[in-house]
Structure 1
């Protein structure tokens, strides 16, 4: 979007974030298990004209530091909570896939910090079924055996629809290859394998938007429906012509739904903020 503020990079207590926009409510973006803050480039570019957008590299991912100790789902949620507290406010929390599971747990553990939730292509966790939990736990061994590049080339193309442009597939693969490593990926996989949030969802009071790509064959529309059906204040949206990464594959439609949600739950401008005039700063 023309006039959107430039993205600024800064590490915070070992957690690297990409941040754009200096006004409006805080929108914290939590990526999927095979990704990083790079997955939110379309949101950083467009939504930063309306909100202060912060996207993390989860601990042990991308440019964030590795943890010396194993991390649980609660640890990831508490780290996200610390990022919000450091900014002295609450946040609208956007989580994709694994990031959505973290966002849901964050809303349970720290409800005062969560103004609303946007949960995309996610689930209540892999612990809802024994086979899913086992498969999730096996991923760390697969990464160790193949290495990040081959691991990404095998898994990345499954995350988008069959009709996704080749350049998007390459970007997804490249992002995964550059982001995942051990032991951080193993901690994330175990956090998913151990998670079954079905009993907690009804306690979430934050208004919630649930989105899912109509061609998501990773978590699928049923998992999104399970989340939406359990949370009291919720809306459920199917994103047409999108796989598991709807925010990247159909960013225009995805961002429009997020903006509509933010306008309902917070005061944001109807029009994007104007970029500063460089001549006035001289």
Structure 2
């Protein structure tokens, strides 16, 4: 069973909506992709709440969260996430999918004391690694403004899962996107991705990290995940079979098993170090 909560963050972000499940165990904070919301983590809120306190946000300017009072760049989104973690009074294991993974990596670099570990799923170092990708990301904002959220989601949503994904999942992905994205929040998010190239800062991330990628991901792709895994010092890299870009939704049992394994290993290691 999930519960809703509003976390008050520092300006220019005033209110961030989160969904919560679970009352015990480590804090797992989930950051969704650029076309989604906390609804994307329903399989994790449901299954992982028996082992952790699972929290999923609607990023500033998305779904039930308020619009930022000023434009946000990647640092601004990372700082907003940091404010949410601080509201819980303990460091979090941060799970970021796609754009959420880019935020998670910047969060870990800017606020290492708040990040116990990272799970970075189907993500990349940002669209700023390639001028064509950056231009494509910026063009999405015009597309959203011209066609509206529902048509925008109908065009983009089906690409986020493998061709074999059930129709019910495709419909859920499209409905989530249509109900989550709006301007100006999506525009700020797209620009944060277009301007991001995290490759030079990966080596500064000290949090132990699990990099996860669906083997059918054609959006960011396996190569982009490999770049992250190769640049991070404390990293494990795994592939989720039969999953597209949204591995956490398309193959939740396999995805959740990797997340739980990571949490168990990291927390056991941290307990051992604290006893030395």
Question: What is the alpha-carbon root mean square deviation over aligned residues?
Answer: 0.9
Q: 2:11 maps to which residue?
A: none
Q: 1:278 maps to which residue?
A: none
Equivalence for 2:119: 118
Residue in 2 aligned with 1:171?
A: 172
TM-score, normalised to structure 2, is 0.94
Deviations 1:95-126 (A, max 9, x none): 00000000000000000110000000000000
Contiguous gaps of at least 5 residues in structure 1: 1-5, 269-282
- CA distance, structure 2, for counterparts of residue 267 and residue 81 of structure 1: 24
State whether structure 2 residue 76 is matched by structure 1 residue 81. Answer: no
1:10 aligns with 2:5: yes
For these two proteins, the number of residue pairs brought into alignment is 263
The residue aligned with 2:56 is: 55
Which aligned segments of 4 or more residues in structure 1 are displaced greater than 6 angstroms? none
TM-superposition CA deviations, 1:42-95 (whole Å, max 9, x none): 000011111110000000000000012100000000011011111110000000
In 2, Cα distance between the equivalents of 1:77 and 1:50? 26
- 1:141-168 deviation per Cα after TM superposition (whole angstroms, max 9, x unaligned): 0000000000000000000000000000
Provide the residue aligned with 1:153 in structure 2.
154
Residue aligning to 1:192: 193
- The whole-number CA distance in structure 2 between the counterparts of 1:166 and 1:178 is 18
Deviation at 1:11, TM superposition (A): 1.4
Q: For 1:44 and 1:233, locate their aligned partners in 2 and report how far apart those are by CA, in whole Å.
A: 26
Query: How far did residue 267 of structure 1 move?
Result: 4.8
TM-score, normalised relative to structure 1: 0.92
2:60 counterpart SS class: coil
Structure 2: distance between partners of 1:228 and 1:264: 18
